[in-house]
Structure 1
């Protein structure tokens, strides 16, 4: 622990080698904490990098070198929290998810289906053949009767 305190004190004075030692020594802990929170290695790598950047820019604020491990862990956790707040889950209707699995990410077809779903039904009905209209009505009635 004395060695870590020495690195921190030297890094606060601008010693690049001491900073590199700190990064090597605390990377494992940072990755472990971030992966526990995020569960995605690509996000973890970004988060750890951001945490080290924040730590480096605020290292002069650290008053006691022995407090570094807890202080740094708090920074990593805060970076994870920031990322989770910014990250919006991608939501997609279930039928499009199935289409994506079956049609192997055919972007044109997915865009066409989205456009199709957004058109009002009064525009779509004249386009459909009589057999498709009949099938659609049959399905609708069957679903209505099953409720």
Structure 2
């Protein structure tokens, strides 16, 4: 969400030198940076170089970021520029055309950003669940999920209680503060 109050608060706190806020920003947006780098078909070493340059640019430019809520878009733009810089350095004998590497429209970039933000919110919401819910959902969402009898034994939960407990845990995820911007209030 472009006006996510958490992002705004984290940016402001990171500007003030809060290391934990900085770490949360990196954790939240690292998947976005890496996914953009992968679209440019960079080698793993080049992805590391481009990613490091993006985070360095953020350290240098965080104080000058006029609109904290614009951080995700800023990161996406800087990441694309860094990927092109790396490609130009590695392939200086070949002209690099932006269109050759980027096959996404602005709408696709926004959709990817929203997906990444939703995933980060889901991870935060999952971490806030009680231990029993985290363990149950982790087991149910493994591929392939273990049989209910095995889950029952591991969690000391009756087989007949797995479904209702799962529903309560998912409802807790849906109603968490972290997921609030992504959940339709009519579907609660």
TM-score (norm 2): 0.45
Q: In the alignment, does 2:88 pair up with 1:85? A: yes
Distance 2:67 2:6 in 1: 14
Name the residue aligned to 1:69. 72
Q: Larger Rg: 1 or 2? A: 1
Name the residue aligned to 1:36. 39
The structure where helix makes up a greater share of residues is 1
Count of aligned pairs: 90
Shift of 1:89: 7.1
8 Å contact kept, 1:38–1:80: no
Q: Could you tell me which runs of 5 or more consecutive residues in structure 2 were left unpaired when the two chains were aligned.
A: 94-188
Q: Could you tell me which runs of 5 or more consecutive residues in structure 1 were left unpaired when the two chains were aligned.
A: 91-147
Question: Residue by residue, what CA displacement relative to the aligned partner does 1:66-108 show, whole Å, maximum 9, x if unpaired?
Answer: 1110011111111111111111379xxxxxxxxxxxxxxxxxx
Name the residue aligned to 1:26. 29
CA RMSD of aligned residues (A): 1.5
Matches within 5 A, 1:46-65: 46-65=49-68
Q: In the alignment, does 2:19 pair up with 1:4? A: no
| CA separation of 1:64 and 1:89: change in aligned 2, threshold 3 A | closer
Distance 2:80 2:92 in 1: 20
Distance 1:47 1:65 in 2: 22
8 Å contact kept, 1:30–1:48: yes
- The SS at the match of 2:76 is helix
